[in-house]
Amino acid sequence: MKRVSFLGLGVMGYPMAGHLAANGYAVTVYNRTPEKARRWTQDYAGEVAETPDAAVDNADFVFMCLGDDPDVETVLTHAAGALPRSAIVVDHTTASPSLARRLHDELSELGVGFVDAPVSGGEAGAKNGKLSIMCGGDGAHVELARPVMEAYGARIVHVGPPGHGQLTKAVNQICIAGILQGLSEGVHFATRAGLDIDKVLEAISGGAAQSWQMENRARTMADDEFEFGFAVDWMRKDLRIALTEARENGARLPVTALVDQFYADVQAMDGGRWDTSALVRRLSDSD
């Protein structure tokens, strides 16, 4: 059985590493908060490493699910010297495409593969093993990692060369931002019009307006519930990556830029840890 390391046991990484253990892989975990790593071993079979280099020693595959570019760079700086030649590093962090391309080139010089593989599906997708994974990198490395990622990935697509996984995740977040703003306005309008929100959703969710966000968030938006799901702070980080890339490639993202500022308003309401559907609270609080 392949030896795997998982670096980063946050909301997503914790259950993802758990799926690897449940599928029989020999898993070593590392987390910057050691208590969380030790708690993970109470829930799953595996070992804890105190440092990133100890975690990756002898690993066939190294998975990362961290916060942002600086976190990835810090962890890999400590781990790089211990990475076995022929190991494959799979980065599930949503990070910048430029970082992915650079890490691919740097690790290639060490004989180590690198796949940028951000995920979509949120905490529920991670817990249920139903994530969508968009992979950039060498096709051979993606195919070697695919059977391992299938422990928690329901859809795994090789979208192109290094950095293209991160670019595809940017597309994903651009689309979600627009959908959530439209859904927020629809729920807000329905509430102000005195409509029965359950009947409204029953009527429209089978038609062209239907979306994952409507199916999973419209009811909680109407109930003013946001203490779950993908945090606004992380969405703003993802939109920052998308908008930065757009400035470089000339893409025009007027709606995305506007929704990003709306999320800044939500942060100003102390909503940085609320679910991204909290955009609707910005509308209701402006009444």
Residues with Cβ within 8 Å of 10's Cβ and at least 6 positions away in sequence, in order, are 65, 66, 67
pLDDT in tens, 183-231: 999 999 999 999 999 999 999 999 999 999 999 999 999 999 999 989 9
Known active-site residue 169: yes
Q: What is the pTM for the complete model shown?
A: 0.95
Helix (H) or strand (E) holding 265: helix 254-268
Distance CA 13, CA 64 (A): 8
Q: What pLDDT does residue 36 have?
A: 97
pLDDT in tens, 129-177: 999 999 999 999 999 999 999 999 999 999 999 999 999 999 999 999 9
pLDDT in tens, 103-121: 999 999 999 999 999 999 9
Q: Say whether pLDDT at 182 is over 70.
A: yes
Q: What pLDDT does residue 285 have?
A: 74
Helix (H) or strand (E) holding 130: none
- Per-position DSSP letters for 4-33, written without gaps between them: EEEE--STTHHHHHHHHHHTT-EEEEE-SS
pLDDT in tens, 15-72: 999 999 999 999 999 999 999 999 999 999 999 999 999 999 999 999 999 999 999 9
- 2, 169, 199, 237: the catalytic one is 169
DSSP 3-state assignment of 112?
Answer: coil
Q: What pLDDT does residue 286 have?
A: 60
Distance CA 99, CA 68 (A): 10
Local structure of residue 80 (DSSP, 8 states): G
What type of residue is 33? T
Domains of the chain: 3-161 (3.40.50.720), 167-284 (1.10.1040.10)
Listed as own residue / partner, the contacts of 209-212 with beta carbons closer than 8 Å and 24 or more positions apart are 211/179, 211/183
Q: Say whether pLDDT at 283 is over 80.
A: yes
- Tell me if 149 sits within 8 A of 155, measured CB to CB: no
Q: What pLDDT does residue 287 have?
A: 55
Mean pLDDT of the chain: 97
Mean pLDDT throughout 93-100?
A: 98
Q: What pLDDT does residue 284 have?
A: 86
Q: What pLDDT does residue 20 have?
A: 98
- Tell me if 28 sits within 8 A of 55, measured CB to CB: yes
Where would I find the beta strands (DSSP E) of 33-185?
47-48, 61-64, 88-91, 113-116, 119-120, 131-136, 153-160
Place of tokens 């253990």: 21
